[in-house]
Amino acid sequence: MFDFSKLLDIHYLVEPNPTAQFAFKILFLSVFGLIILVAVLLWIAAHYLVKIKTIRLFLQTRAFYLLLTIGIGGLLLTFFRLAGANYLSMRLLFVIFLISMLAWLIYLLFYLVVTFPQKYREEKDQARRAKYLPKRKLK
């Protein structure tokens, strides 16, 4: 079992070259690789299956880039740990990575709760109004 009190020890976090054996390397590589695959599948599904413009843009931009950044960043940190790169394999970098991804996720949830419903209502209202506007004549 992991001792979580070690995460409060600064010497443990900033050790320039932690142990070369990385117990969960296969798990981390597969999880972060799967996250990249999910990001690509999400973008493809949003592009071809979602008809509502606001939802499609949200999935193709914000959600896609969040998942892609998590996957690539996690793979880079895992690679640095496996390669034994001094100072790039510090445990502190992984903690900072997790905190930044949590902050981005909070921003994304805030966008979904506050901004997205407003944009969605505006798009539906504009589509409703466009039904009654005269069509442009072709020459």
The rounded distance, in Å, linking the Cα atoms of 11 and 124 is 55
In a domain, 6, yes or no: no
Structure confidence at residue 22 (pLDDT): 59
In a domain, 105, yes or no: yes
Q: Structure tokens of 4?
A: 């979580």
Query: How many structural domains is the chain composed of?
Result: 1
- In the chain, what is the straight-line distance between the N-terminal and C-terminal CA atoms, in Å? 75
Structure confidence at residue 92 (pLDDT): 82
Taking the model in full, what pTM does it have? Answer: 0.76
Classify 8 as helix, strand or coil.
helix
Stretches in the chain below the pLDDT threshold 70:
1-2, 19-23
- CA distance to 4, 13, 121, per residue, from 91 (Å): 13, 5, 44
Structure confidence at residue 19 (pLDDT): 65
In a domain, 124, yes or no: yes
How many C-beta neighbours within 10 Å does residue 98 have? 14
In a domain, 75, yes or no: yes
Structure confidence at residue 2 (pLDDT): 65
In a domain, 86, yes or no: yes
Task: Say which residues have a Cβ less than 8 Å from residue 6's Cβ, sequence separation at least 6.
Answer: 12
Structure confidence at residue 86 (pLDDT): 79
- Print the domain residue range for 77: 24-130
The rounded distance, in Å, linking the Cα atoms of 117 and 124 is 11
In a domain, 15, yes or no: no
DSSP state of 18: -
In a domain, 18, yes or no: no
Structure confidence at residue 103 (pLDDT): 92
In a domain, 9, yes or no: no
Cα atoms in the Cβ-side hemisphere of radius 13 Å centred on 52: 14
Structure confidence at residue 7 (pLDDT): 73
Structure confidence at residue 21 (pLDDT): 53
Structure confidence at residue 1 (pLDDT): 62
For residue 48, count CB atoms less than 10 angstroms from its CB and return exposed for 0-12, middle for 13-18, buried for 19 or more: exposed
